[in-house]
Structure 1
Amino acid sequence: MILVTGATGLVGSHLLITLLQENNAVKALYRDKKSIDQVRHVFQYKNHLSLFDKIIWTKGDITDIPSLTIAFQNVSKVYHCAALISFDPKDEELLRKTNIEGTANIVNCCIDFNVDKLCYVSSIAALGDAKENETTVTEETEWNPEKLHGDYAISKFGAEMEVWRGFQEGLNVVIVNPGVIFGYGFPEKGSGVIVNSVKKGNPFYTNGLIGIIAVEDVVNCMTSLMNSSISGERYTLVSENLSYLDLFKRIADNLNIKHPYLHANRTLTSFAWRADWFLAKITGKKRAFTKATAKASHSKIFYNNEKIQTTLDFTFTDMEKYFTLYASF
């Protein structure tokens, strides 16, 4: 039996399809029954609605240990996809509780229930920091606690530390660090936010780089790693490193709309995150653009994907079809 946390999210829902296609018995952890409908839409879109009824839905929360003890019954493998994604500093405590404490709970249950293997979905945000004059980050790049990191990145790094603790205690683990994930089903989250911004005619761009990947590639790498004897390794999952301008142009071309045309330099983004802070202060709205995200928008770090390509002899999907896909929404 395989347990999938975060089963009602982008990665989790697409992962369910792949696991069921391989005739696995799958438990899917959910918190809100309404979110299951979105998973059904993903199955329907991918012409696998017949597999949907094979899912064993289990209500639970990674921060609620009693619900996890029920979910972990008869489980041999775990894909831990659940996480809180937020860039609002007000969510710092919740990020730590969900991403770090929640992952610690998953690791502890894996050990207590003698689970064979755990796959943790982390993020490129948790990878290390390139040193001065370096432009490439790999799985071996060291995290520098003196550098500015957003609360989300810190929480994902902390979660990885919990997974490595489990590995030291005898649990077989693999970690994947995907970039921004493109895929069908969740247009209001993740990459969908980027696409919607372009759709609305956002004229601004920065000269930073962004690492992107298709959700199917993430899922295929995860299942291949879990079906292998590999343990104690992490893998960067990025198919392309694009400038924000190139990404926005490719999306805009598929939408047949105007390209962004105003370069947002560091001075402008510095003003923008301060304005965002002020508006959040007086309106109570969540932060959308912080000091950390402003810094990241100018970063020209290249995420190296050689390790996963060499390990699995993996070929990434052409991302162009995903930009076309969003044009159909």
Structure 2
Amino acid sequence: MILVTGATGFLGAELIHQLTRSGAYVKALKREHSTIPSRIASNNAIEWINADINDVATLEDVFSGVTQVYHCAALVSFRPADKSRLFRINIEGTANIVNLCLQNGVRLLHVSSVAALGDSKSGKMITEEDFWEYGTKTHAYAESKYEAEMEVWRGIAEGLDAVIVNPSVIIGGGAGFNGSGQLFKLIKEGFSFYTRGATGLVDVEDVARIMILAMQSNHTAERYIISAENYLYQNLFKEIADGFGVKPPTIEAKPWMMKVGWMLGKFRSLLSGKSSNLTRDAIKSSITKSYYDNDKARKTFNITFKPLSQSIAETCSALQFK
């Protein structure tokens, strides 16, 4: 029996779609008031269970008969105000899943993030050998994903059978305008600015496909970067704009401009009580060039990634009339 946490999320829903399409039966965890994506809502191969990964008592019953766990549940946020929630959900929640997998002899696939790998060292490609490092300017989301991954490595040291995947920015129409979809929404609405940063991107279908291959393999105590291609934000924004048939951003957002924007947003948030989307961490990410090496996953699982130009075009098509 397969258990999937974070089952109603963008990645979790795609993973379940692929698992059940191949004939698997799945226990799917969701929060009580979460909306089940329409593409899997009427799937009879799914047993939906209301549970919280921070509620150990409830989780103990869920693990009955389970042999494999895909741990997709996580909070993604760059807002400093969410630090305590990030730690509780991403770190403590993962620790609970690890402990229950150990107690029940269950194989675990943990969805980490490239955020847990840290920044590039002297312009080199980032690989599975890299880890996030503590610094004076703590990035709460990256720290939470790093510490969550450390819980998995702690479990492995105690005998846990587990593999870890580190996806880069995941894109696909199923995200809607949430997560990476916010970027597509921004460009669709005529955003005029681009930054000099770069990052890795990957199609959600590829992430789910490689997760299944990793789970079904005999590999353990390994981690794999899942990233199709590295893109400059300027080029990414242009391709998204082309996909929507709108004018691409033409103005470079200099770091000083973004800092001014951050200060203005901070001031507005004090007056309105609403958090600003432009945070220090978001600014840092947008101007940093992070290039990820996908050789290990590509060679281990003998896979070819979907071209990002195709993924971007498909995502724009899916979101065109939303």
Q: TM-score range by the shorter chain?
A: over 0.9
| Structure 1 residues without counterparts, runs of 5 or longer | none
Identity %: 42
Which residue is equivalent to 2:85?
Answer: 94
Q: CA deviation at 1:33?
A: 4.5
1:258-282 CA deviation, whole Å, 9 max, x = no partner? 0101101111112122222222222
1:237-295 CA deviation, whole Å, 9 max, x = no partner? 11011011100100100111001011011111121222222222221222312112211
Check the 8 A contact 1:309/1:315 in 2, yes or no: yes
Quote the Cα distance in structure 1 between the aligned partners of 2:75 and 2:177: 15
Which residue is equivalent to 1:238?
Answer: 227
Quote the Cα distance in structure 1 between the aligned partners of 2:316 and 2:173: 11
What residue identity is the alignment partner of 1:250?
Answer: E
Q: 2:156 aligns with which of 161, 167, 174?
A: 167
Which residues of 2 match residues 45-60 of structure 1 at below 5 A?
52-60=43-51
Which residues of 2 match residues 235-274 of structure 1 at below 5 A?
235-274=224-263
Q: 1:79 aligns with which of 56, 70, 83?
A: 70
Please report the TM-score for the alignment, with normalisation by the length of structure 2.
0.95
Check the 8 A contact 1:59/1:67 in 2, yes or no: no
Quote the Cα distance in structure 1 between the aligned partners of 2:209 and 2:27: 19
Check the 8 A contact 2:169/2:180 in 1, yes or no: yes
What residue identity is the alignment partner of 2:148?
Answer: A
Quote the Cα distance in structure 1 between the aligned partners of 2:276 and 2:112: 22
Which residue is equivalent to 1:320?
Answer: 309
Quote the Cα distance in structure 1 between the aligned partners of 2:226 and 2:203: 9
Check the 8 A contact 2:224/2:296 in 1, yes or no: yes
Quote the Cα distance in structure 2 between the aligned partners of 1:121 and 1:308: 14
Quote the Cα distance in structure 2 between the aligned partners of 1:257 and 1:96: 39
Q: 1:127 aligns with which of 107, 117, 120?
A: 117
Residue 221 (structure 1) aligned with residue 210 (structure 2)? yes
What residue identity is the alignment partner of 1:20?
Answer: T
Quote the Cα distance in structure 2 between the aligned partners of 1:129 and 1:161: 18
Check the 8 A contact 2:200/2:290 in 1, yes or no: no
Check the 8 A contact 2:8/2:34 in 1, yes or no: no
Which residue is equivalent to 2:26?
Answer: 26
- SS of 2:174's partner is coil
* Farther-moved stretch of structure 1 (224-233 vs 15-24): 15-24
Which residue is equivalent to 2:281?
Answer: 292
- SS of 2:224's partner is strand
Residue 141 (structure 1) aligned with residue 138 (structure 2)? no
Q: CA deviation at 1:21?
A: 1.9
Q: CA deviation at 1:136?
A: 1.7
Quote the Cα distance in structure 1 between the aligned partners of 2:118 and 2:236: 24
- Post-superposition, which runs of at least 4 consecutive aligned residues in structure 1 deviate over 3 A? none
Please report the TM-score for the alignment, with normalisation by the length of structure 1.
0.93
Q: CA deviation at 1:6?
A: 0.2
Q: CA deviation at 1:10?
A: 0.8
- SS of 1:63's partner is coil
Residue 42 (structure 1) aligned with residue 31 (structure 2)? no
1:31-61 CA deviation, whole Å, 9 max, x = no partner? 134411xx2x2348xxxx6xx1220111101
| Structure 2 residues without counterparts, runs of 5 or longer | none
What residue identity is the alignment partner of 1:85?
Answer: V
Q: CA deviation at 1:148?
A: 3.3
Check the 8 A contact 2:132/2:143 in 1, yes or no: no
What residue identity is the alignment partner of 2:73?
Answer: A
State the number of aligned residues: 318
Q: 1:151 aligns with which of 124, 140, 160?
A: 140
